[in-house]
Amino acid sequence: MFSDTIVAIATPLGEGGLAVIRISGAQAFAITDQCFQPVGKTSLKPTVAPTHTIQYGKILRDGQVVDEVLLAVLRAPRTFTREDTVEISCHGGLLPTKLVLDTLLAHGARMAEAGEFTKRAFLNGRIDLAQAEAVADLIHSRTELALAAANEQLAGKLSQRINLLRDDLMLTMAHVEAHIDFPDEDISPDTKEDLLARLEKGVVFMDELLRTANEGQLLRRGIRAAIIGRPNAGKSSLLNQLLGRDRAIVSPIAGTTRDTIEETANIRGLPVVFIDTAGLREALDEIEVEGIRRSRESLAQAELILHVLDASEPLTEADKNYLTEFADKKRILVLNKTDLPVKLELPPTTSNQQPATSSVCSLSGQGIEGLKDAIKALVWAGEIKAEMLQVAINSRHQDALNRARGTTRQAADALRADATLELVAMDLRIAANAVGEIVGKTTTEDLLDSIFSTFCIGK
């Protein structure tokens, strides 16, 4: 498969001004030559065109013009995949794009698998595995902070630190194995202290990286925030204000929202998935029963609750029950309708931690900015610094580092207890291999398949 020449549409399908089709592999130029007709005195076929040039012409199929195109000719190794590559810019739209793609397939190219271009870039040494993952993060980023974090990882900032950590573990392992090869020479106390200090330094470094895991996952996938409350408390109006547009139907009729509505908003640089739920009450019909069931399902999955209370009315028994029911959840009490005389009094809490509160008027938008500040403060404590973005790890990195940390600790304990050096070396090798998984120094085919299968076709 690695010797095949692959092709795919690299831009989203649909109507548009342009679409880009990418073909990469040893036969990329020869295949494109067969269906490309240069137009004009200076345009050339890909096989004879200089690298990194644009050629103008037409794509032909069975002698008929398919489309007027521009060809970017990119010769190896100065390409994304480090293979000969042609990128064809044709007119957008499903039909012209499909016909150009079908023409290339008919002349010997193979349809690329999901993420195969990036996989080839990794296998050809153009990028490491952490950088390959950053490509997907870059495409899927929903806020500027997520984009900045992906760009830092793509630039190799995380990889540089991981490689230093792995090199340090490998150096320590080499010292230990050298003493295994010469069993008559015991490790001197000074040497042992140096090795232990190096291992402890590695553990501290791993702890620093592991502390960025929550932030890294938050930047990549966001946080789910369920908006709950009694019917007519103003949940849908609040969602519209947070999104900055009318997404949910707003009506004075109680029970308007019958299903959950999910939308993502950029809250102080963090992606937050807001879920507008059906008002919590005893259902009046089968449709409302299903809506409330879905609301309960969303509540179970939510990491944050915005509990909307009508500040213009006294607390009801239902309000009190919901306040108690969700006391253990991370939540903000949103006191809505503050443009009216306030009649709401919150009961004293029995827990040690007072829930955050925010007063708003979801009709006029008053207090919404303060609510956004409260959301950000609750999900990300402190300032979002540039150095955090450089090393914000994902869940795969977190798993590998946790395994590496555990075996590094084991190696240090065994060395301290004068255990058999073979055991120390084995633990260090496991740790180094786990760290190597992050950048792809130690990988399996299953691991690569699971990572690149999440990519879109054409990337």
> Does residue 6 sit in helix, strand or coil?
strand
Nearest partner of 298 among 236, 248, 224, judged by Cα: 224
Query: Which residue spans of the chain are classified as CATH 3.40.50.300?
Result: 221-379
The secondary structure of 168-189, three-state, reads HHHHHHHHHHHHHHCCCCCCCH
pLDDT value for 436: 93
- What is the biggest distance separating any 2 CA atoms in the chain, rounded to whole angstroms? 87
Query: Which residue spans of the chain are classified as CATH 1.20.120.430?
Result: 131-212+392-448
Q: Find all residues with CB under 8 Å of 281, minimum gap 6, and list them.
A: 230, 231, 255, 292, 318
Q: How far apart are CA 21 and CA 27, in angstroms?
A: 15
pLDDT value for 203: 94
pLDDT value for 433: 93
> Does residue 257 sit in helix, strand or coil?
coil
pLDDT value for 25: 95
Query: Which residue spans of the chain are classified as CATH 3.30.1360.120?
Result: 6-126
For the sheet with 331-336, list strands across it.
261-267, 270-276, 223-228, 304-310, 331-336, 356-359
Q: Find all residues with CB under 8 Å of 227, minimum gap 6, and list them.
A: 235, 238, 239, 274, 275, 276, 277, 306, 308
pLDDT value for 254: 46
pLDDT by position in tens, the chain (length 459): 568 999 999 998 888 889 999 999 999 999 999 999 999 999 999 999 999 999 999 999 988 999 999 999 999 999 999 999 999 999 988 899 999 999 999 999 999 998 899 999 999 999 999 999 888 888 888 778 788 888 888 988 899 999 999 999 999 998 888 878 776 666 676 678 888 999 999 999 999 888 888 778 777 777 888 888 887 888 888 888 888 867 654 545 444 444 567 788 888 878 888 888 765 555 445 655 566 666 667 677 778 888 888 888 888 887 888 888 778 788 899 999 988 888 888 877 665 667 888 999 988 889 999 999 898 888 776 556 656 666 677 888 999 999 999 999 999 999 888 888 889 999 999 999 999 999 998 777 777 887 787 777 777
pLDDT value for 390: 67
> Does residue 224 sit in helix, strand or coil?
strand
Q: How far apart are CA 7 and CA 27, in angstroms?
A: 11
Facing residues of 71 across strands?
A: 55, 88
Cα-only R_g, the chain:
29
CA atoms within 13 A on the CB side of 233: 30
Q: How far apart are CA 322 and CA 132, in angstroms?
A: 45
Domain 131-212+392-448 superfamily per CATH:
tRNA modification GTPase MnmE domain 2 (1.20.120.430)
pLDDT value for 255: 47
pLDDT value for 303: 83
Inter-residue contact 280 to 229 (CB < 8 Å): yes
Task: Out of 3.20.20.60, 3.40.30.10, 3.40.640.10, 3.40.50.300, select the CATH number for domain 221-379.
Answer: 3.40.50.300
With b meaning 16 or more CB within 10 Å and e meaning fewer, what string describes 100-139?
A: bbebbeebebbebbbbbbbbbbbbbebbbbbbbbbbbbbe
Distances (CA, A) of 145 to 132, 159, 333: 19, 19, 27
Question: Class for domain 6-126, per CATH?
Answer: alpha beta
pLDDT value for 260: 64
